[in-house]
């Protein structure tokens, strides 16, 4: 009986604190293009698994012979494994985008802080994503819409440069939210949706600012504009959670690259409260 | 522990030679100061004869010269171009290697850190503090959870550093002759070794001979001392030694202004002085290479011709390098102004937030080895003067808003 049970039970996730800088092999079991330069890879451990990720955390993803980059987790399937969404902009990320089903990558993690949606219990939720910034927010949105009674109204606001740059177009329509808005900076032929900055959608979102939490990810100017707008509307700065990006080499708080003023983003971020982040993002080239 | 730190003794030159011989015989790699290439460098010593007996140094901003000494002292020089991080946190280190099998699955193999057991001889009190600071960064826990319960909860120490550090024996040499670029006293340190050593030596050369007043800092230090010829400390040697260290406190070549430097840095992010520094700074990274606390590293991937074998190497990096802050779209800190500001504000201010202590020990190396002679103490004083002048302007300003112009936030 016990033998049978052990066959169906998933393998216990290994916690690898002994050598946090050694990657663990993960196989690409599915791959789908999100946009012309962005790919989502569904990954399963070849043998040993990493500890569980929470939405907002990231892994260092290794492309054999090229190097490794930090990538936020874009899906945490209940069946195990995880997904990463990668935009090809450099040697490593282009190598990852070119990975095929069956290829094996190296992963280490989980690193960093999570979104901590659980702190928004009973409150309205405003998710604002710019471009590939939707990827780290996707597992948070899924959690929020999966259990609608845990929160007030859930809003998802998505912006992208062009219609081609929108991620998860099919999934976006299926999310049962109080409001889902999509806007692009530059419309293409056939685009009948909104045009303009994502902050314009805040007028349509349904939330009570003093009783709301916001989760924001995207390019830094978009984060600044969105967070300031939210605070202006009455959302408390510490309830505006933003995910930030800096160069990262080790992810173990020892290489010094991801400093942003007083914090190391791999350890104290990437998700931080806007009340703390605002002074850092207000100084040019900090 | 208290009793151990009270134990004292006196070694003569033969005693010191026996000490080095005992360490070598015990299988340790003994590293200490020695003269090479016109400088006092840190290198492996085969015997005490390798120490720089009869050599001193003459320092200034952008200047370092060896000078012969009549008294034959071995530890009368101040900090040289290297620090102990070259051994504890080496310039290049392989982290792991990986081989891709016929099935395409890579096997990642951790590289065992080089496992030398070091004895460091002649560690200056500033460098003892620097080692303690790097311990916190590379082998310790972050000071506190910063944002959430999860932040900072898991320490990820540098395994190689911790292993080398754990095995290292530290023999301090207290300072009796600070150099012209030294400012440890104003960096909340001093010429005396406060702790963190196994043995602390204070060199005394006078009519009674060449000898070393020894303080014991650990049980291992006590055992080591027991194994070599020594005598109990006499009052004269002790008082001469302690007097010389006390006097050194008064002879610092430079000083940081006695201000809350954390606050000063935080209030100076928009200062004009950074542009003045940038007009002189070559962004050569010398200051970060010679700094005993600068710890930043980058990684690189090295593959062989088959493409099936790859190695991950870590090596020193510098915040003065453009690539250091590279993101998609370019470097975050493109200007020299912003890179020098990052280095100085990190050292004096944000280091406290990140690791619970400051990052400057006042060793003066960054001043000595800056090819442009940029002097950190002078720059800090200039930033303080600029802040004070701006505050005065505000007091005397009229209501036309012309007085204080901040660079201001980005839109």
Which ranges of B190-314 does DSSP label H, i.e. alpha helix? 219-226, 235-249, 261-267, 273-278, 286-290
Q: Are residues A22 and A102 in the same domain?
A: yes
**Is it the case that residue A268 has pLDDT exceeding 70?**
yes
Closest by Cβ to B350, choosing from A22, A113, A261: A261
Last residue of a domain, one of A91, A111, A131: A111
Q: Are residues A24 and A95 in the same domain?
A: yes
In a domain, A17, yes or no: yes
pLDDT in tens, B340-379: 999 999 999 999 999 989 999 999 999 999 999 999 999 9
Cα gap A23→A68, rounded to integer Å: 10
**Is it the case that residue A17 has pLDDT exceeding 50?**
no
Q: Are residues B64 and B190 in the same domain?
A: yes
In a domain, B407, yes or no: no
In a domain, B87, yes or no: yes
- Residue B393 is predicted with a pLDDT of 84
In a domain, B108, yes or no: yes
Q: What is the mean pLDDT of chain A?
A: 92
- Residue B397 is predicted with a pLDDT of 63
Q: Are residues A126 and A244 in the same domain?
A: yes
**Is it the case that residue B43 has pLDDT exceeding 80?**
yes
Distance from CA of A166 to the nearest CA of B (A): 19
Last residue of a domain, one of A111, A145, A180: A111
- Residue A256 is predicted with a pLDDT of 96
- Residue B38 is predicted with a pLDDT of 94
Q: Which residue has the higher pLDDT, B398 or B182?
A: B182
Q: Which residue has the tokens 């840190």?
A: B42
Q: Are residues B15 and B74 in the same domain?
A: yes
- Residue A168 is predicted with a pLDDT of 83
- Residue A171 is predicted with a pLDDT of 86
Q: Are residues B36 and B165 in the same domain?
A: yes
Closest by Cβ to A267, choosing from B152, B325, B338: B152
Last residue of a domain, one of A94, A111, A128: A111
Closest by Cβ to B105, choosing from A46, A65, A271: A46
Q: Which residues of B touch A255 (CB under 8 A)?
A: 296-299, 314, 317
- Inspect the interface and report whether the beta carbons of B298 and A20 lie closer than 8 Å: no
- Inspect the interface and report whether the beta carbons of A283 and B409 lie closer than 8 Å: yes
**Domain extent for B39:** 2-249
In a domain, B397, yes or no: no
Q: Are residues B39 and B176 in the same domain?
A: yes
Give me the percent of chain B exceeding a pLDDT of 70. 91
In a domain, A26, yes or no: yes
pLDDT in tens, B100-149: 999 989 999 999 988 789 999 999 999 999 999 999 999 875 444 333 33
In a domain, B403, yes or no: no
In a domain, A286, yes or no: no
**Is it the case that residue A235 has pLDDT exceeding 80?**
yes
Confidence band, pLDDT 50/70/90 cuts, at residue A13: very low
Give the distance, in angstroms, between the CA of residue A255 and the centroid of all CA atoms in the same chain. Answer: 23
**Is it the case that residue A170 has pLDDT exceeding 50?**
yes
| Edge-to-edge strands, sheet with B92-100 | B106-110, B92-100, B309-316, B297-303
Q: Are residues B221 and B268 in the same domain?
A: no
- Residue A197 is predicted with a pLDDT of 95
Q: Which of A57, A201, A183 is nearest to A126 (CA)?
A: A201
Q: Which of A129, A136, A116 is nearest to A74 (CA)?
A: A136
Tokens of B32: 């200490």
Distance from CA of A257 to the nearest CA of B (A): 6
Over residues A69-90, mean pLDDT: 95
Q: Which of B1-15, B144-158, B367-381 reaches the highest mean pLDDT?
A: B367-381
Query: Is it true that the peptide bond before A92 is cis, omega within 30 degrees of 0?
Result: no
**Is it the case that residue B4 has pLDDT exceeding 50?**
no
Q: Are residues B182 and B277 in the same domain?
A: no
Q: Are residues A62 and A103 in the same domain?
A: yes
- CATH number of the domain to which A20 belongs: 2.40.30.10
Over residues B328-349, mean pLDDT: 96
Q: Are residues A7 and A101 in the same domain?
A: yes
Total count of domains within chain B:
2
Over residues B263-288, mean pLDDT: 97
- Residue B159 is predicted with a pLDDT of 86
Tokens of A117: 């949606």
Q: What is the mean pLDDT of chain B?
A: 91
In a domain, B42, yes or no: yes
Q: Are residues A200 and A246 in the same domain?
A: yes
| Three-state helix/strand/coil letters over chain A | CHHHHHHHCCCCCCCCCCCCCCCEEEEEEEEEEEECCEEEEEEEECCCCCCCCCCCCEEEEEECCCEEEEEEEEECCCCCCEEEEEECCCHHHHHHHCCCCCCEEEEEEEECCCCCHHHHCCCEEEEEEEHHHHHHHHHHHHHHHHCHHHCCCEEEEEEECCHHHCCCHHHHHHCCCCEEEEEECCCCCCCCCEECCHHHHHHCCCCCHHHEEEEEECCHHHHHHHHHHHHHHCCCHHHEEEECCCCCCCCCCCCCCCEECCEEHHHHCCEEEHHHHHHHHCCCCC
Closest by Cβ to A22, choosing from B96, B137, B335: B96
Q: Are residues A268 and A214 in the same domain?
A: yes
**Domain extent for A75:** 2-111
Q: Are residues B36 and B126 in the same domain?
A: yes
Q: Are residues B237 and B287 in the same domain?
A: no
In a domain, A70, yes or no: yes
- ipTM confidence: 0.90
Q: Which of A148, A284, A136 is nearest to A215 (CA)?
A: A136
Q: Compute the count of residue pairs across chains A and B with CB atoms less than 8 Å apart.
A: 148
- CATH number of the domain to which A239 belongs: 3.40.50.80
Q: Are residues A82 and A121 in the same domain?
A: no
Q: Which residues of B touch A245 (CB under 8 A)?
A: 327
In a domain, B411, yes or no: no
Chain A's closest residue to B161, CA to CA, is: A254
Q: In this structure, are residues A24 and B108 in contact, taking their beta carbons and an 8 Å threshold?
A: yes
Q: Are residues B106 and B13 in the same domain?
A: yes
Total count of domains within chain A:
2
Q: Are residues B68 and B38 in the same domain?
A: yes
Q: Which residues of A touch B90 (CB under 8 A)?
A: none
**Is it the case that residue B335 has pLDDT exceeding 90?**
yes
Confidence band, pLDDT 50/70/90 cuts, at residue A20: confident
In a domain, B223, yes or no: yes
In a domain, A77, yes or no: yes
**Is it the case that residue B197 has pLDDT exceeding 80?**
yes
- Residue A99 is predicted with a pLDDT of 97
Confidence band, pLDDT 50/70/90 cuts, at residue A12: very low
Q: Are residues B218 and B322 in the same domain?
A: no
Over residues A23-51, mean pLDDT: 95
pLDDT in tens, B211-231: 999 999 999 999 999 999 999
Q: Are residues B298 and B364 in the same domain?
A: yes
Over residues A136-152, mean pLDDT: 95
Q: Are residues A51 and A135 in the same domain?
A: no
In a domain, A188, yes or no: yes
Residues 6 or more apart in contact with residue A118 via CB below 8 angstroms: none
Cα gap A256→A264, rounded to integer Å: 7
A268, A269, A274: best to mutate for the B interface, most B CBs within 10 A:
A268
Q: Are residues A179 and A221 in the same domain?
A: yes
Q: Are residues A99 and A147 in the same domain?
A: no
Q: Are residues A100 and A132 in the same domain?
A: no
């Amino acid at each position: 009986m016990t033998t049978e049970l052990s066959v169906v039970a998933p393998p216990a996730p290994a916690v690898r604190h002994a050598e946090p800088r050694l990657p663990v092999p993960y196989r690409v079991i599915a791959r789908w293009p999100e946009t012309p330069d962005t790919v989502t890879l569904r990954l399963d451990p070849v043998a040993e698994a990493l500890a569980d990720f929470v939405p907002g955390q990231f892994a260092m993803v290794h492309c054999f012979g090229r190097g490794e980059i930090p990538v936020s987790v874009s899906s945490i399937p209940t069946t195990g494994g995880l997904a990463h969404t990668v935009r090809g902009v450099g040697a490593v990320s282009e190598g990852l985008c070119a990975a095929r089903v069956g290829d094996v990558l190296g992963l280490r993690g989980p690193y960093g802080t999570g979104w901590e949606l659980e702190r928004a219990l009973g409150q309205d939720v405003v998710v604002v994503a710019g471009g590939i910034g939707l990827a780290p927010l996707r597992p948070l949105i899924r959690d929020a819409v999966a259990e609608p009674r845990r929160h007030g109204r859930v809003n998802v606001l998505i912006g992208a440069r062009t219609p081609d740059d929108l991620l998860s177009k099919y999934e976006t329509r299926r999310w049962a939210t109080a409001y889902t808005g999509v806007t692009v900076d530059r419309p293409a032929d056939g685009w009948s949706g909104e045009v303009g900055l994502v902050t314009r959608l805040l007028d349509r979102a349904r939330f009570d600012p003093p009783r709301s939490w916001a989760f924001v990810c995207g390019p830094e100017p978009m984060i600044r504009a969105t967070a300031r707008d939210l605070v202006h509307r009455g959302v408390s700065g510490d309830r505006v959670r933003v995910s930030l990006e800096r160069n990262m080499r080790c992810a173990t708080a020892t290489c010094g690259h991801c400093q942003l003023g007083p914090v190391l983003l791999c350890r104290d971020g990437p998700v931080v409260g806007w009340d703390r982040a605002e002074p850092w993002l207000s100084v040019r080239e900090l | 522990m208290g009793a151990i730190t009270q134990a004292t003794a006196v070694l003569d030159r033969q005693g010191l030679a026996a000490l080095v011989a005992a360490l070598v015989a015990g299988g340790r790699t003994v590293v200490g100061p020695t003269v090479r290439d016109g400088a006092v460098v840190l290198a492996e010593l085969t015997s005490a004869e390798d120490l720089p007996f009869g050599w001193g140094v003459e320092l200034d901003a952008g200047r370092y010269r060896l000078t012969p000494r009549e008294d034959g002292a071995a530890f009368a020089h101040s900090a040289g171009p290297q620090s102990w991080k070259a051994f504890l946190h080496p310039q290049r280190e392989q982290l792991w290697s990986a081989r891709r099998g016929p099935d395409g699955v890579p096997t990642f193999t951790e590289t065992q850190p080089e496992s030398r057991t070091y004895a460091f001889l002649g560690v200056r009190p500033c460098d003892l503090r620097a080692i303690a600071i790097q311990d916190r960064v590379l082998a310790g826990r972050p000071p506190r959870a910063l944002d959430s319960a999860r932040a900072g909860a898991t320490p990820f120490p540098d395994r190689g550093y911790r292993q080398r550090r754990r095995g290292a024996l530290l023999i301090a040499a207290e300072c009796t002759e600070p150099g012209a670029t030294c400012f440890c006293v104003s960096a909340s340190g001093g010429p005396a070794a406060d702790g963190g050593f196994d043995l602390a030596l204070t060199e005394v050369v006078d009519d009674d001979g060449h000898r070393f007043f020894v303080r014991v800092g650990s049980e291992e230090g006590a055992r080591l001392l027991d194994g070599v010829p020594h005598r109990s400390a006499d009052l004269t040697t002790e008082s001469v030694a302690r007097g010389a260290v006390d006097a050194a406190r008064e002879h610092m070549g430079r000083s940081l202004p006695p201000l809350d430097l954390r606050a000063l840095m935080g209030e100076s992010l928009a200062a004009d002085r950074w542009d003045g520094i940038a007009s002189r700074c070559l962004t050569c990274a010398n200051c970060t290479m010679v700094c005993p606390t600068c710890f930043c590293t980058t990684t690189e991937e090295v593959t062989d011709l088959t493409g099936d074998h790859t190695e991950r190497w870590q090596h020193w990096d510098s915040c003065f390098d453009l690539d250091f802050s590279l993101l998609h779209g370019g470097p975050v800190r493109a200007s020299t102004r912003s890179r020098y500001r990052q280095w100085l504000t990190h050292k004096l201010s944000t280091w406290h937030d990140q690791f619970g202590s400051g990052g400057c020990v006042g060793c003066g190396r960054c001043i000595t080895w800056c090819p442009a002679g940029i002097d950190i103490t002078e720059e800090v004083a200039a930033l303080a003067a600029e802040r004070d002048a701006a505050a005065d302007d505000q007091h005397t300003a009229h209501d036309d808003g012309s007085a204080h112009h901040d660079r201001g936030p980005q839109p």
